[in-house]
């Protein structure tokens, strides 16, 4: 027996957090009865589970690494008709969704999967998975300002966790620089807000690394399937951290 939201996530319905919303909103039935309790446990082999009247079926777990271009929304649908990340996966039979978010105007590495349990753990801040960004900013931050980023800065939603910040390139016309910033949180537009806090507006932002994963061999808009070894390693990372 497993928790209902976990079964839904494993079936590729949505992330576990989103599946919990479905349950609370009365969109899920088990054996013909609406279930509202998040503690409900089911047997996916015996119980009939429906979301919005449609029975769920367990599907193959799928894991992909995607090079998201700018101008693409990190969502599975968009009411305004804008291009979304799932538009690049039309040939994939599984219903996959992004792990976390990259802003419309941010490019870089994004994990796509239908493994709701893994997605939930990767996104949860307690698992402290490093994410490395390259931020092209106006001006050249002083060493003191970089130290502010490393210690943590106070944003409107609280202090940021310690980070690693270094300048990897300086340019004169116009005066700008490229900062490599390593963080493990995933707040909304966090890197942009951190840089703005120290007085250096981000002009361009790119995520080049997620944990041990990189974009090597991929061009913008391309993706590749994660190897079984990579998937195992991701699962080991979040399992080890949950035991600390």
CB of 192 closer than 8 Å to CB of 167: no
Burial class for 208, CB neighbours closer than 10 Å (0-12, 13-18, 19+): middle
Residue/partner pairs of 43-48 with CB below 8 Å, 24 or more apart: 43/1, 43/2, 44/2, 44/7, 44/10, 44/11
Measure the CA–CA gap between 163 and 193, rounded to whole angstroms.
Answer: 14
Q: How far is CA 104 from the centre of its chain?
A: 13
CB of 155 closer than 8 Å to CB of 197: yes
Residue written as token pair 């002009």: 203
103, 115, 130, 157: the active-site residue = 103
Instruction: Give the chain's count of helices (H) and strands (E).
Output: 6, 17
CB of 102 closer than 8 Å to CB of 68: yes
Please, what sign has the CA dihedral across residues 133, 75, 113, 190?
positive
157 a catalytic residue: no
Q: Which are the catalytic amino acids?
A: 103
């Amino acid at each position: 027996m497993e928790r209902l939201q976990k079964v839904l996530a494993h079936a590729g319905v949505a992330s576990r957090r989103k599946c919990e919303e479905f349950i609370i909103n009365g969109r899920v039935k088990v054996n013909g009865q609406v279930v509202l309790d998040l503690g409900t446990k089911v047997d996916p082999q015996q119980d009939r589970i429906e979301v919005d009247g449609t029975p769920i079926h367990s599907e193959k777990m799928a894991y992909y690494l995607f090079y998201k271009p700018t101008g693409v929304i990190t969502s599975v649908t968009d009411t305004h008709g804008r291009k979304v990340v799932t538009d690049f996966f039309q040939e994939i039979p599984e219903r996959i969704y992004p792990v976390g978010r990259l802003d419309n105007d941010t490019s870089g590495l994004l994990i796509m999967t239908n493994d709701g349990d893994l997605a939930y753990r990767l996104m949860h801040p307690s698992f402290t998975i490093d994410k490395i960004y390259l931020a092209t900013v106006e001006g050249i931050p002083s060493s003191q300002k970089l130290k502010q980023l490393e210690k943590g800065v106070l944003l409107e939603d609280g202090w940021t966790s310690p980070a690693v910040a270094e300048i990897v390139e300086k340019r004169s016309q116009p005066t700008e620089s490229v900062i490599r910033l390593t963080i493990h949180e995933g707040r909304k537009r966090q890197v942009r807000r951190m840089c703005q806090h120290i007085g250096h507006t981000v002009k361009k932002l790119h995520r080049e690394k997620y944990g041990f994963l990189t974009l090597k061999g991929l061009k913008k808009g391309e993706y590749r399937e994660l190897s079984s070894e990579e998937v195992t390693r991701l699962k080991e990372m979040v399992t080890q951290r949950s035991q600390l």
